[in-house]
């Protein structure tokens, strides 16, 4: 019997054989998976180099001011899976609990403001503040989703001690994370979409009156 800690490279760490049976050793394992999901929110970078006509708006948003400012967010997911448990040298069977670390970072988190806004500080500030609200909604949504995902993954994995062919356990956990849990993360983040929509709906009304109508004139001039 070997106690092992499997990293992604599936390194076997041997230890002295115990006197216990495989089954007894499995039963004696600390009864819990170790699941950590974290999100490191980022400060937005600013790009004011492109003209309104060259800015690609977010297709999900539908307002006439969308070419003047847009926020791009790409979420990176760094997954580390290890297993802690026992393998039976005789049969190749293993029992283990997964240790999963999922680190989320956003890179880049980029706010683009149309170059034309530089002509009027009031317009630029207005659109900048609007995009920063999208950034705040995004960061809060991912942080909330990460906490929820961690809770759901713990509930799921804590009910299932991994048991089976040693080589397959690691692959199965990784496949499950890629196919099931990262998809669940995307679904949780999408739940914040109504907040973005509400922000844009409010903006539709404001944009015509702020800055003495300058923003409204700029949009008209572009049509």
112 binds Zn ion (CB under 5 A): no
- DSSP secondary structure letter of residue 177: I
200 binds Zn ion (CB under 5 A): yes
Half-sphere exposure of 202 (CA within 13 A, CB side): 12
Cα-to-chain-centroid distance, residue 157: 20
Considering only 40-48, 79-87, 111-119, 194-202, which stretch makes contact with Zn ion by CB under 5 A? 194-202
CB of 214 to Zn ion, least distance (A): 18
Considering only 41-49, 73-81, 158-166, 196-204, which stretch makes contact with Zn ion by CB under 5 A? 196-204
166 binds Zn ion (CB under 5 A): no
Q: 137 near 60, Cβ under 8 Å? A: no
| Closest residue to Zn ion, based on beta-carbon distance | 200
- By beta-carbon proximity to Zn ion, the closer residue of 166 and 200 is 200
Q: Distances in Å between the alpha carbon of 87 and those of 9, 15, 57, 162, 165?
A: 16, 11, 53, 11, 9
Considering only 2-10, 77-85, 159-167, 197-205, which stretch makes contact with Zn ion by CB under 5 A? 197-205
Q: Where do contacts with Zn ion occur on this chain (CB under 5 A)?
A: 200
């Amino acid at each position: 019997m070997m106690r092992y800690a499997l990293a992604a490279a599936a390194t076997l760490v041997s230890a002295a054989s115990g006197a216990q049976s495989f089954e007894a050793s499995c039963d004696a394992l600390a009864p819990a998976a170790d699941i950590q999901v974290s999100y490191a929110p980022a400060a937005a970078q600013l790009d004011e180099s492109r003209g309104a006509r060259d800015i690609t708006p977010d297709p999900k948003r539908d307002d006439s001011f969308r070419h003047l400012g847009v926020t791009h967010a790409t979420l990176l997911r760094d997954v580390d899976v290890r297993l802690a448990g026992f393998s039976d040298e005789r049969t190749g069977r293993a029992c283990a609990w997964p240790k999963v670390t999922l680190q989320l970072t956003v890179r880049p988190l980029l706010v683009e403001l149309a170059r034309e806004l530089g002509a009027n500080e009031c317009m630029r500030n207005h659109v900048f503040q609007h995009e920063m609200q999208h950034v705040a909604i995004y960061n809060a949504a991912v942080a909330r989703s990460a906490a929820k995902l961690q809770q759901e993954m713990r509930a799921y994995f804590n009910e299932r001690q991994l048991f089976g062919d040693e080589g397959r356990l690691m692959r199965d956990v990784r496949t499950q994370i890629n196919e099931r849990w990262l998809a669940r993360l995307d679904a949780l983040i999408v739940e914040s979409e109504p907040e973005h929509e509400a922000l844009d709906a409010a903006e539709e009304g404001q944009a015509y009156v702020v800055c003495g109508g300058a923003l409204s004139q700029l949009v008209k001039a572009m049509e």
